[in-house]
Structure 1
Amino acid sequence: MSENPVIGRIANASLVLQHFGYWPSFHDAEVKKVTFEANPGYYPTVTFVLAAFETTASTDERGYFRQAKHCEIELRFTGIKEIHFDGFGHQNVIFSLEFDEQDVGLTCTLDSAVGLDAFIVAQAAEIVSLTPILPI
């Protein structure tokens, strides 16, 4: 799997890379919390808390793919120039979390499976924290 060069522009991306061993697609990750912050005189900030995991190739006795490396990731975008945010509800599962470059900033698309659908244009992004958790 080739790494998207934009990932290198995300501060502390190494926390995710160390935990998973690669940059995941975040397929079936769940957005647990979103915090918007106004910064008077500056562009706003938004922070997402994602419950993420790795889906393995092995299956359990019911035929479901096993999951590993469960964690909560706090992802913050600063200098937000544009944001589209729709459908946040009681469950917010994403197909993927995709980054791309735009001018001196970056874009992020949260592609919805259920609930939240979002698109962000920001000056910067950072992984604030990654906390391993026990599966539910």
Structure 2
Amino acid sequence: MSPASVFSEIPGGESLLKWFGRIPRFHDAELLEISFPDKGAGLLRIHAWNITDKVDAKGYFVLDKHAIVTLILEDVSNISCTDFAMVPCIIFDLEITRTEEHFRIEWSASYGVAGFIIAKHAHINLKPGKPQ
């Protein structure tokens, strides 16, 4: 299954694709929060953006399309994380795949917590802008 079709299966996924204009990999995005507040439920809250090919006066790439992306997970059946206490973290790469009846959210980190979560249901909430 293609990554775009996985996002189309997740409520809120089409809005995410439309906002970023592509399948986000969340490279260098900041994982602001990872929590499991209730049995079988969890969330990842991420500050993400698009990196453009433009550079500013200081030589840094210009970032646009900032958003807070919250992945809301239900019926979580498996969690495997390393460096769990190191939040916020910097995501190197994040991928959402479909495994039979479940979604697998897996990410590596440039710094901090990394791992995977398997959940039966996922929802995406997108809030344009930067975190306060």
Q: Return the TM-score normalized by structure 1.
A: 0.85
1:63: Cα distance to partner?
1.7
Residue 128 of structure 2: aligned partner: 132
The one-letter code matched in structure 2 to 1:35 is S
Q: Secondary structure at the match of 1:125?
A: strand
Return the alpha-carbon distance in structure 2 between the equivalents of residues 12 and 103 of structure 1.
20
Aligned to 2:102: 105
Q: Is the 8 A contact 2:90 2:109 kept in 1?
A: yes
Residue 84 of structure 1: aligned partner: 80
Unpaired runs of 5+ residues, structure 2, are none
In structure 1, the residue matched to 2:92 is 95
C-alpha displacement at 1:119, in angstroms? Answer: 0.5
Moved more, 47-56 or 82-91: 82-91
Given candidates 52, 55, 59, the residue that maps to 2:51 is 55
Question: What secondary structure, in the 3-state scheme, does the structure 2 residue paired with 1:76 have?
Answer: strand
Identity %: 28
How far did residue 52 of structure 1 move?
Answer: 0.5
Give the TM-score, by structure 2 length.
0.88
Q: Which runs of 5+ in 1 are unaligned?
A: none
CA contact (8 A) 2:55 2:62 kept: yes
Q: Secondary structure at the match of 1:28?
A: coil
The AA in structure 2 aligned to 1:54 is N
Q: Quickly say closer, same or farther: Cα 1:135–1:83, change in 2 above 3 A.
A: closer
Structure 1 residue 94: Cα displacement: 0.4
Q: Deviations over 1:12-50 (max 9, x none)?
A: 1122122112221110111111221333xxxx1111110
Give, in angstroms, the shift of residue 98 of structure 1. 0.4
Deviations 1:50-94 (A, max 9, x none): 000110011112221110011111111111111112213253000
Task: State the 4+ residue runs in structure 1 displaced beyond 4 angstroms.
Answer: none
Change (3 A) 1:61 1:134: same
Contact 1:70–1:135 (CA<8 Å) still a contact in 2?
A: no
**What is the distance in 1 between the residues matched to 2:130 and 2:78?**
35
Distance in structure 1 (CA, Å) of the matches to 2:114 and 2:7: 21
Deviation, structure 1 residue 135: 8.0
